[in-house]
Amino acid sequence: MSGKYALLAALAPAVLAQTQQPDDDYNTDANPKLDMRTGETITTMGFPDCVNGPLHGTKVCNTSVSSWDRASALISMFTLEELVNNTDNTAPGVARLGLPPYEVWNEALHGLDHWPEENNGSFSWATSFPEPITSMASLNRSLIHQIGDIISTQARAANNFHRYGLDSYAPNINGFRSPVWGRGQETPGEDAYFLSSLYAYEYITSMQGGVIGANDVPKIRTTPKHFAGYDIESWHNHSRLGNDVNITSQWYASYFTPQFRTAVQFAKAKSVCFVSFAHS
């Protein structure tokens, strides 16, 4: 048996194990039950102690090494169980490595959200701007840029006290094609090619601190969403997690993706939120 086939044989049990289906049927249940950890918010998060912690002296704490190599070095230290546990929205960290918890799900649609706010004190509030569809109705690019800059500054301030991560699930740049979606107010509007593209550029570059190069440190990493063809929350009792959306190539190119091209190619967004789709 060649090395290639031997490797496939070794991986077969793990691959087959991943085909197990969840108890909930996302194709027939519009509101399936998600794991409780999905909606949790970590009250305190942080970064490894690179001075006295277990990761001191490793590649993970070597700032002269690329971010990719540092992340790869950290993941290589995980056990399989630790790796799986840290792929959720609420990553518990790895105590034996001195890796603290981290909240992946940080919202910043029109202000900080999904973060541990206090009842009073310095972190009892964050500026809440109008919904994007209202802000973009001003047709004012400078205003959108200013809003993004303020939000990212507050995010950094909260992060300095381990209360907010360095990524955000924003902006939502799906076209407001259908009023039955119910989330159109989160978007800049129905014009994907011009209106949404301008909004994406200004919001992303202001949040990240400019048009960020590969080796630059962003202010906050943005996550434009939802790529692509996402504008129905549920349809005929089908969950958004199980909808089978068939989009023609023309619609896909002309309406559903121009704003994402702007977000990634020109604004240099550092991550993208994907939603499965099909197009013909």
- Residue-range domain boundaries for the chain: 41-102, 105-280
CA distance 61 to 54: 10
Going 132 to 134 to 136 to 140, the CA torsion angle's sign is: negative
Percent of the chain with pLDDT strictly greater than 70: 89
Determine the average pLDDT of the residues in 155-177: 92
CATH, range 105-280: 3.20.20.300
pLDDT band at 116 (very low <50, low <70, confident <90, very high): confident
> Hunting for tokens 């942080």 — which residue is that?
46
- pLDDT of 2 > 60? The answer is no
pLDDT greater at residue 215 or residue 78 = 78
User: Residue 15 pLDDT more than 90?
Assistant: no
Query: What is the DSSP-derived secondary structure letter of residue 33?
Result: P
Average pLDDT over residues 159-177: 91
Is the pLDDT at 51 greater than 60, yes or no?
Answer: yes
How many residues are present in the chain? 280
Highest mean pLDDT among 179-183, 200-204, 209-213, 215-219: 200-204
Q: What percentage of residues in the chain have a pLDDT greater than 90?
A: 50
90 has which bridge partners? 103
Query: pLDDT band at 53, cuts 50/70/90?
Result: very high
Q: Tell me the average pLDDT across 12-23.
A: 49
Residues in contact with 17: Cβ distance below 8 Å, sequence separation at least 6, in sequence order: none
pLDDT tops 80 at residue 235: no
Q: Closest Cα partner for 90 from 40, 48, 157?
A: 40
